[in-house]
Amino acid sequence: MIEIKSHIDNSIILTTEVLDTSYRNRTLMNENSLTLYFNRTEFIEVPIGSYCIFQGEKYILMKPQNFKKNNWRNFEFTLIMDSVQGVMKNYKFRDKVSKRLKFSNTARPQEHLEMLVWNLNQPIS
């Protein structure tokens, strides 16, 4: 049983049983996503930014849901949710001084962290 919650007020949007074909893809230093397949008798909108907690880890819906209408009472849904680390795919890592994408990056860990925070505070382009 999976609960999908709203990112705005943490209210439950959907509680559903997922199909056995659902899976989590977690690899070292790479993707960490949760793919949920489920069927419903009525259409339900799951907004972008909604999240669920699976095995103690938060997964966020970053792309619109995918659904297939088989007939008027059978909808198949596919939700691909990214972990918190997956949110970083929306950002480009730029040099703090020159604002270039290609640059030499050798610094102390504290400076790397400062550059990461600076990049996260920049508008998404």
Note the pLDDT tens digit of each residue in 27-73: 887 888 999 999 999 999 999 999 999 999 999 999 898 989 988 88
Amino acid at 120: L
The pLDDT-based confidence of 109 (bands split at 50, 70, 90) is very high
Beta strands in the chain (DSSP E): 2-5, 12-16, 23-26, 32-40, 51-54, 57-61, 66-71, 74-83
Reply yes or no on whether the pLDDT at 90 is more than 80: no
pTM: 0.79
Rounded to whole angstroms, the Cα distance separating 22 from 107 reads 41
